[in-house]
Each structure stands twice: as C-alpha cells, then as structure tokens.
Structure 1
Amino acid sequence: MDAGVLARADEAVALLRALVHLESPTGDATAVGEVVALLTATAATLPGARCRTVPSAGGPHLVVDVPGHGAAGALPPVLLVGHADTVWPVGTLDGDVPWREEGDVLAGPGAFDMKSGLVVALTALAVLAEAGLDRRPARLVVVADEEVGSSTGAAVVTEAAEGCAAVLGFEAPHADGALKDARLGSTRVRLVVTGREAHAAVDPEKGVNAVDELVDQLLAVRQRLAAVATEHPGTLLVNAGGVSGGGRANVVPARAEALLGLRFGDADVEREVLGYLEALVPVREGATVAAEVLSHRPTWAPGAASAGLLAAVRAAGAAVGVAVEARPAPGAADTNGTGALGLPTLDGLGPAGGGAHAVTEHLRVTSLLDRVRLVAVLLHTL
C-alpha cells in the first residue's frame, strides 16, 4: 500500500493546489459550488461511487457513497466528514496568503483548514480501491457552511451518519499532530431587546430604553453564568462578542442586541445555560427580551465509543509506523454532532501544519502522505 501512496503523491498535491486556487469563502454559493464540482469529479473516479448534492443558500453540500470490497463490503459504512468553505475572501491568493510550495511545506488560504483533509480522504479511498483490499463501505460528506456553524450542513451530516459504524473527521489535528477525541459544544446566541422610541427630553417617560434593558440583562447573565462556571469548573466559556443598539442620543432607543459565544464541556451545563437564556424576562414594563440561537453544536464529551475507535486507529498507525495520540479540542466542528449522538468519532485526521485562519496557514506534505497511509490501512482493518 505504501507504493500506492507514493505513486499518488504528486496527484494529491495537484488536487490540493487546484482546490486552494478555487477560493471558497462561506456564503459564496458559486465559489463553494466550484469546489464541490471538483470534489465530485474526483470522487466519481472511485469504482462504484455515487455522488449527490444537497442544495443550500450557501452552496451545495456533497454526499458520496463508495462501496466496500470483499467480505467487509457488507458491513455498515464509515462516515468521512469535511467541509468545502473557508474563512478567506476571494482575492486572498493575490494578497496576504499566496499559494506556496517550499520543500515539505504547502501554504495557501484554506490549505490547512481544511482542503488538505479532503485530499487525504479522497486519496486514501483511491489507494484502497487500486489495491483491491477488503474494506468497509465509506460515505463522504462535505458541507458548505462549517465555518459559520453549519446552520444547514449539520442536518446533512446527521442524516449521512445514520447506519454508520464510525465517524472520521478530516479537520486539522492538534499542533503536535494528535487527533481530537472530544470537542467543546459551541452555541452562538443573539440577545434581542425591544423597547419603545420617544423623545429623550420632551417625553422620555413614554419611551422604553432598549439599551438600558440590554445592559441590565447582560449584567444579570454575566452574574448567573459566572456562578455556573464556579459550580462546574472547566465546563463553560462565555464571550460577549458584540453589542449594538439605538443610534441617536436624543431618542430613547427601541432596539438593542448582543452576540454571545458560548462553549460547553458538559451536556448538562449546556442544557442549564441555554434553558436559562431562553427564559429571560424583561426588567422594564413594555420591554421584550428574546434569545435567538444562531448556531448550535452540541457538546461531544470523551467516552468509551471514541476510545474504542482510537484503539483501532492506533493499531493502524502501528502498521504504518505512525504514533497516534488523541485528546479533546476546544474548537467545535461537524463531528460535535456525531460524537454527541454516541457514534464512535475521531477528528483531526487532516495533515499536520499550522496557522488555521491566519496568514501563516500551511501544512506538511510528509504528514499528508502519512495521513493517507493511516486512513487507508484503517479503512481496510476497521
């Protein structure tokens, strides 16, 4: 199998180069669609592969079913998860983050997060097919909106996971190359307060100040969530990421809002906090307050299911001379959903590198090829 990987090294780099040059910021349906079209054309070369797309406002999601081979072909499939969107706007290649090939390093917008992970998955499937080895069926799902919380992609992943035996995520690994066996839950909430406009000097008593109401609500929220974090150490992170409202000093403002970023390390704490926010009541008569969930990824806590899968990955790693470690990650991704469902899940199977979401974004070719070897053997032995 090692010879098959080396034979496809140039092809893998060429695919990554092509994917990176198709800049695909989240929300640009045309740009994301071009990436999905290239991925579809590549996947369609796999024997028996069936490709379909799921439309969304931000571009198509891709689902590819690849049949197994031999006795393992009748087993439940393994789900491979990735995304086509990046955080970089079109034009980044001509600006701060040009494509670079320097020795073992490849760099460019979206190369590390996570187009190289998609290359690993597709190349491993191609190597396996060429080798003719027994293997489970595989189902690859590539979502269009992961970078903003997968508001439409999450349902596609959940549906694709039905009937699957395990889930492998191809996001970037930890900085030292370790895999990710759990993730904090991530929820983005918008607190929206409405009041009533009035002249701030002539008849202020006729108004209901939405900005004042929001300030009082945020103070109460901060106090309550601080108490939760003290009672359950290490399970809750809160960030007030934006506040807006009103606009003129001589008008009592009728609307104000705040954006909250919440991270959870425990499902019970997640339920408690979200339930509290949904039940907020106004302080002022005539005001309203509502918590709108903008995106939600449930807590994926460490568990026996993922530990069992990790043992299989470590065995595959030993077979190809790659040491495999894993630990929880603070960032959220599409594997939060499958891990929270109790499916054996591991993430971070993209190649080692660094600089995700930064101008230093890069990966190492040797690590990319090591990941291809690891995933190919895993799909053969799992």
Structure 2
Amino acid sequence: MDLDRLLDRLRAYVEHETPTGAAEALNSFADRLLARYADLGGTARREHAATGDHVVADFPGEGPRAEEAPLLFLGHHDTVWPFGQLESMPWRERDGVVRGPGVFDMKGGLVVLEAALELVDGRDHRPVRVVVIADEEIGSPTARELVKSESADAYAAFGFESPHPNGDLKTSRRGSSRVRIEVTGREAHAALDPGTGASAIDELVDQLLVVRSLVAGYDDVLCNVGTISGGGRTNVVPGKASAELGFRFVDPETERAVLDAVTALEPVRPKARLEVSVMSNRPAWQPSEASAELLAAVAEAARSVGQTIGGAAAAGAADTNLTGGLGVPTLDGLGPRGKGAHAVHEQVIAASLAERAALVAAIITSL
C-alpha cells in the first residue's frame, strides 16, 4: 500500500478544518466524501442537517455474498478544533509520526476506511454501508435517528474512532448524556433592595450541589460540569445563570434513574425558575456475547494479515453506543494508532494507517 498517498489524503483532510457546527465547512467536506465514495464504487447521498450534513454511502457486495446483510461502518467529519487551530498546530510529519488538529479524532479513521475499500475491490465480500456524522463531537443530536435506521439490517457495526493505546478494539462504552440547567432569578439592586431579588447564580450553585450529592449515591457515575455562565455586575442580583453537565454511565438502569432525578430538580428559592433539558444522549453499550463473538472473528481476520488484535471496554462515548445499545454486534477503534485526542499533541503513527486498512479489508472479506 502506498503510504505516501494515504498521508497526502490525510493531510488534505486535516487542513480542511471542520469544527462542529460550522455547517459550510462541514458541507464542503461532505462534498469531498461524496465524490470519494462515488469513485470507490459506492452510491452516496447526503442527509441534511442545519448544523452540517451527514453522508451515507452504500457499497455493493461482490460474488456469492452480494445479497448478505451489510457491514455498517461509522465515522464522523467534525472535530473539536476551532477555525485557525492549524496556525498553532500545523500538519507535521517527523520520525513516522504525523500531527495536526483532527488527525487522530478522526480523520485518520476516514482515510483507513477508504484505503480498505480500495483493497477489497474485486474480491468477494458482503455489502458495506458507511455513515459519516457531522456532529459526533457533541453527541450526534441530529444523527441519532439516522444511525438507528441505517443499522436496522446490519450484520455488524464498526466504528473508526481511535483504538486503545496498544491498538486493541473497544468492546463496550459508557453511556453519555449532556444536560443543561438554566436558572431564571429576579434582578434587584444588590445593596439597596436585595430582598426583592433572587440570585440565579446562587440557585445554580445550590442545584449543582444537589446534583453532586445525587451522583455520589451511585457507583461508577461520572459527572463533569463543563461550562457555567451568568450574571453581569457585582451590584446587581443576577437574573440568569446556566451550566452544562456531562454524565457517564455504565448501565442503562442507572442512567435512567440519574437523568430522571436531574430533570425533576425543583427550585430552592421561591422566586427562581428552573429548566433542565437533555441536550444529547447516548445509551450505555454494555459487553455482550454477540460483540465477543464478533471480536473473535475479527481476531481471526487479523491473524490472516499477520496482526494480533484484542479488545477492552472504553470510557469514552461515540456513535457505536447507539448500535451497541440496540443489540447490533459492535466493535469500535478501527482508526489508526496514536494519542492526544482533543489535545494539542494529537498525533497518529503513520505506518498504522496501512496496517489498519489491511485489517479492515480482512474483516470485510472474511466476516
């Protein structure tokens, strides 16, 4: 496999910046994918979303397996990086390592997927369906139903997110939910008439303490307060405040109990109003016998190309939460090896692009 060609494509993808929510940039990148998948023999279409279009492509099977259920490949083309990140974090290639915003999460995975499709051209295999999401980094709020519908007839689902550091695949994921708490208080002069006011900030702080106490009652629940905003002047009792929280769960029962409790929060102050909304939700993808059997088949495919592959649970969430949660045999982590997702040292081991492409090709032709 021509590694230089893979790196050229990866560089072009990385230097096409695609922040989540930047619809014009994401749609332009979707145009690239549509053309590329058509060149590879797929029938591709875009699924419109206001914050950026998703891409779906179907590749026919070949030979006696052409009518079998498809393999579903999941990826995304949005990144956490804002426009201009390339100025301080440019594409760099040195000592077999490439760096740049989105190189690991997950434009490297998109290049691996394309290279694998090239490798299986002319070989017998079941159909392949590719779904590339435009808002994965914020929980795929506009793509949830698309992933569910496109996985309905899938034989198995594979994600092209990053693998574990040693290259092993991901066999389950925590559930992930984003929750917004918005407080409306009552403004007043902080010195002359504080009693007629109701501090939205004080109310928010008290609610966050309630949430902390609630989470402490459950094992293995993670809660991160990601943003807080509100208020304006120190001499004004603040009338508005909000926070966004990220929750992680290991099982759906705990997830439901915690989210029910959080969304049922009541104001502490009579003059305050509270609105709690679930911004996005990915169900817990728990270990299953089906995924274990799929991992065994993938390990056999890996051996056929001289590789050894294992699997382990993952803490992070992705679109494979949806397929795994629906009971579709699922594995994730087929992207290249590297490190630094969402960090300024984000990087990929260049040689692993070709290695992973060979692995994915073996999966396509053997499952």
* Equivalent AA in structure 1 for residue 124 of structure 2: D
Q: Percent identity?
A: 51
| Counterpart for residue 65 of structure 2 | 72
Determine whether 1:27 maps to 2:21. Answer: yes
- Taking a change above 3 Å as real, the CA distance of residues 103 and 42 of structure 1, as seen in their structure-2 partners, is farther
Amino acid at match of 2:286: A
State the alpha-carbon separation in 1 of the partners of residues 73 and 138 from structure 2: 20
Moved more, 78-87 or 359-368: 359-368
Q: What is the CA–CA distance in structure 2 between the aligned matches of 1:180 and 1:285, rounded to whole Å?
A: 47
Deviates more, 1:364-373 or 1:59-68: 364-373
**Where does structure 2 lack aligned partners over 5 or more consecutive residues?**
none
Q: CA deviation at 1:145?
A: 1.1
Shift of 1:103: 4.3
For 1:344 and 1:35, the matched residues in 2 are separated by 29
Inter-partner Cα distance in structure 1 for 2:286 and 2:280: 19
Is 1:360 equivalent to 2:345 in the alignment? yes
Match of 1:200 in 2: 190
Q: State the 1:67 CA deviation.
A: 0.4
> Which whole-Å CA distance do the structure 2 matches of 1:124 and 1:139 have between them?
13
1:307 pairs with 2:292: yes
Q: Which residue of 1 aligns with 2:166?
A: 176
Q: Aligned equivalents of 1:25 and 1:226: distance in 2?
A: 34
Contact 2:179 2:246 in 1 (8 A): yes
How far has the Cα of 1:14 moved from its partner?
2.3
Q: Select which of 77, 81, 97 maps to 1:84.
A: 77
Which residue identity lines up with residue 157 of structure 2 in the other structure?
Answer: V
CA contact (8 A) 1:246 1:253 kept: yes
- The CA RMSD over aligned residues, in Å, is 1.6
1:150 aligns with 2:143: no
The alignment's TM-score, normalised by the length of structure 2, stands at 0.95
Q: Measure the CA separation in 2 of the matches of 1:14 and 1:220.
A: 51
**TM-score with structure 1 length normalisation?**
0.92
Q: 1:74 is paired with a residue of what secondary structure?
A: coil
Return closer, same or farther for 1:359/1:214 CA change in 2, 3 Å cut-off.
Answer: closer
How far 1:159 moved relative to its partner? Answer: 2.0
Which position in structure 1 is the counterpart of 2:307?
A: 322
**Against the structure 1 CA distance between its residues 216 and 359, is the aligned structure 2 distance closer, same or farther, given a 3 Å change threshold?**
closer
Look up the match of 1:120.
112
For the residues of structure 2 that align with 1:210 and 1:165, how far apart are their CA atoms?
Answer: 50
1:135 matches 2:135: no
2:43 alignment counterpart: 50
Q: Which whole-Å CA distance do the structure 2 matches of 1:208 and 1:356 have between them? A: 41
User: Take 2:176 and 2:301, find their aligned partners in 1: how far apart are those partners?
Assistant: 31
Post-superposition offset of 1:205: 3.3
Dislocated runs of 4+, deviation >4 Å: none
CA distance in 1, matches of 2:33, 2:288: 33
Task: Mark the CA change 1:212 to 1:102 in structure 2 (over 3 Å): closer, same or farther.
Answer: closer
Partner residue in 1 for 2:259: 274
1:241, 1:357 → 2: CA distance? 15
Cα deviation, residue 320, structure 1 = 0.8
Aligned to 1:334: 319
The 1:250/1:106 distance shift into structure 2, 3 A limit, reads: closer
Cα pair 1:19 1:38 within 8 Å, conserved: no
Offset, 1:196: 2.1
Distance 1:359 1:214 in 2: 32
Q: 1:74, 1:67 → 2: CA distance?
A: 9
Q: Is the 8 A contact 1:245 1:256 kept in 2?
A: yes
Are 2:178 and 1:188 equivalent residues in the alignment?
yes
- Measured in 2, the distance between the counterparts of 1:224 and 1:334 equals 27
User: What is the CA distance between 1:155 and its match in structure 2?
Assistant: 2.5
CA deviation map 1:78-135 (0-9, x unaligned): 1100011112223333x22221233422222211111111111111111101xx2211
Q: 1:375 to 1:243 in 2, by over 3 A?
A: same
The 8 Å contact of residues 171 and 313 in structure 2, kept in 1 or not, is answered as: yes
Q: 1:89 to 1:211 in 2, by over 3 A?
A: closer
Deviation readout 1:128-175 (Å, 9 max, x if unpaired): 01xx22111000011111112212122222222121111010011111
Determine if the alignment matches structure 1 residue 62 to structure 2 residue 37. Answer: no
Q: Tell whether 2:31 aligns with 1:41.
A: no
Equivalent pair of 2:3/2:351 in contact (CA under 8 Å):
no
State the SS of the aligned residue for 1:44.
helix
Aligned length: 367
